[in-house]
Chain A
Amino acid sequence: MSEFEPKIVAFFCNWCTFTAADLAGTSRLSYPPNIKIIRVMCSGMVDPKFVLKAFLNGADGVLVGGCWPGDCHYINGNFKARRRVALLTEILKQYGIDEERFWLRWIAASEGNMLKEVADLMTAKLRELGPSPLQQMGQMVG
């Protein structure tokens, strides 16, 4: 049997992390294809429902990428994202999805190397953790 490949749903801010992913590409840095990127206009627009739905539909991890404090294109969306992530983590970890599967990271547009580093780290961590406990439940969970 082949090695377990985690599926990571990544919500990347258009102004920083998404651009960093682009930079990683143009810089010929390769990061794991496990990261499935969804471009959003701000980490602050990542509705907790997006994250819940990702996990309920079998994602092994969710990564939210936003601008460093002080750099938000919309002034403070990233701070709002941080509170929401803290809230949702408290809820999810009661049922076995903890902060090891749900990451928020600040990655600036210039940090293509950090994008690669975070993608590598998260993929390695999830390989170690194995499939999400929700995956075995299939679509019955709804």
Chain B
Amino acid sequence: MATFAKLSFNKDELNKELSGFFKGILENGAVDAVLAPMAQGKKGVRLSLVTSAANTGAVDPFAPVAAVSGAKIASSLTARPSGRKVAMVLRPCEIRATVELVKLKQVNLDDVLMIGMDCLGRYENTDFTKFQEQGGTSESFLDNAQAGKTATGDFDVAGACKICEFPAADNIDLRLCAIGSGSGAVHIEAVTEKGKAALEKSGVKIGDAPAGRDEAVKKLVAVRTEARDKKFAEFRAETDNFQALGEKLSACINCYNCRVACPVCYCKECVFVTDTFRHTGDQFMMWADKGGLLKMPNDTMFYHLTRITHMSLFCVGCGQCTSACPNDIDLMPLFRTSADKTQAKFSYQAGRSVEEEQPMAGFEADELFEVTGQAK
């Protein structure tokens, strides 16, 4: 049975209430550190690592921005662990990517108290600045987004968020619930015993479950799933051949930002920056000779297809690839539509469970007979 604490707040005091909770878990020794989105002065909100209870004042977990995927930060903090207990406040997509990184031994959750927040979407980094300039706050965002109004003037939440069917986090100890909590309140839900112990230690009052939550989450998931299916159908219809794919990628400059931003692009060193791809002039001339011309830089589609074979099984649909592209290529649907196919093929879902083996990490003798079509 889940335990809930209700945090009611007056106007402009949501973050004050939340900071009380984080201050509590730090002061009472539930954790040694908190990694949470925090306001950076007047502009910008970034994940920050807080070790002093006095510094929790600037927390802003519901700020609709995620400039860098928190899964990468989780990896930085725990791949070579400090041994200190840390509470991480992450978005559902970041947590699902973290789950994949655990399986790749790039995250270690032993000392982590995972806190998942309800996510109603994030604005692109530059749009979030505009959002703040227009007076937007996490509170106003939560209210408006729950009413379906995320569009503000000339921008809206990221395309990935509009089609994300995971607004609520899983594989967590605690959940920051905003969906269905009603205006002027959020809830903290303890999902595991570890979470419950931390919640009790924090000193916030244990109370009732938010009445309308399950219904509200279900409704939101249904809306997002429908939008996802529509987007997939559109993208697949537009991009069912290599010519069309090439056109989608025509603005690509091989900067490889999409794989830098991708939380599940797991190679320590990408093969595309190794000597394997440092060709000689002769080699380029030979390729050019073959068809009479060679687009430079070359291997653009080769790079994207290789990335798909590497990460589509782990793709959580966070959309950081699209956000990172300096030439505004909307890469998210490319990776998500492929991920949808490849994950289905292996009955796998990225981020679902730490226990689920990654498909390319194993094999069975009796499977996939259709690949060769041969029986002994």
Contact = CB atoms under 8 A, between A and B. Distances in A.
Contacts of A134: 242
Interface string A72-96: 0000100110111111111100111
Given A80-B363, A104-B372, A139-B293, A94 B306 contact: no
B368 A90 contact: no
Contacts of B305: 52, 56, 91
B363 A76 contact: yes
Interface stretch (B23-31, B42-50, B104-112, B334-342): B334-342
A86 B368 contact: yes
Interface stretch (B55-63, B189-197, B218-226, B296-304): B296-304
Contacts of B374: 105-106
Contacts of A140: 246, 293, 295
B360 A83 contact: yes
B372 A56 contact: no
B376 interface: yes
Contacts of B287: 139
A1 interface: no
Nearest to A66: B372
Nearest to B235: A94
A36 interface: no
B295 A139 contact: yes
A88 B309 CA distance: 6
B233 interface: no
Contacts of B244: 95
Given A94-B337, A134-B242, A141-B242, A87 B342 contact: yes
A49 interface: yes
A82 B245 contact: no
Contacts of A141: 242, 246, 295, 300-301
Given A87-B345, A91-B308, A142-B295, A52 B302 contact: yes
A125 interface: no
B312 interface: yes
Interface residues of B, number: 47
Contacts of B346: 83, 86-87
Contacts of A83: 346, 359-360, 363, 368
Contact of B372 (A48, A70, A87, A105): A105
B295 A96 contact: no
Interface residues on A, range: 35 or more
Nearest to A48: B309
A91 B341 contact: yes
B253 interface: no
A89 B306 contact: no
Contact of A142 (B302, B337, B371): B302
Interface string A102-133: 01111000000000000000000000000001
Contact of A68 (B242, B298, B376): B376
B271 A91 contact: no
B239 A142 contact: no
Contacts of A69: 365, 376
28 contacts: A49-B302, A49-B306, A49-B309, A56-B301, A57-B290, A68-B376, A82-B367, A82-B368, A83-B359, A86-B345, A86-B346, A87-B309, A91-B308, A94-B341, A103-B372, A104-B372, A106-B372, A133-B243, A137-B242, A138-B292, A139-B287, A139-B291, A139-B294, A139-B298, A140-B246, A141-B242, A141-B301, A142-B301
Interface of B: 236, 239-246, 271, 287-288, 290-295, 297-302, 305-306, 308-309, 312-313, 337-338, 341-342, 345-346, 359-360, 363-365, 367-368, 371-372, 374, 376
The 9 closest A-B pairs by CB, nearest first: A79-B363, A138-B291, A142-B298, A139-B291, A48-B309, A139-B294, A96-B241, A142-B300, A90-B341
Given A57-B290, A139-B290, A142-B297, 13 more contacts: A49-B309, A69-B376, A70-B365, A76-B363, A82-B363, A82-B367, A87-B345, A91-B305, A91-B309, A91-B341, A105-B374, A139-B298, A141-B300
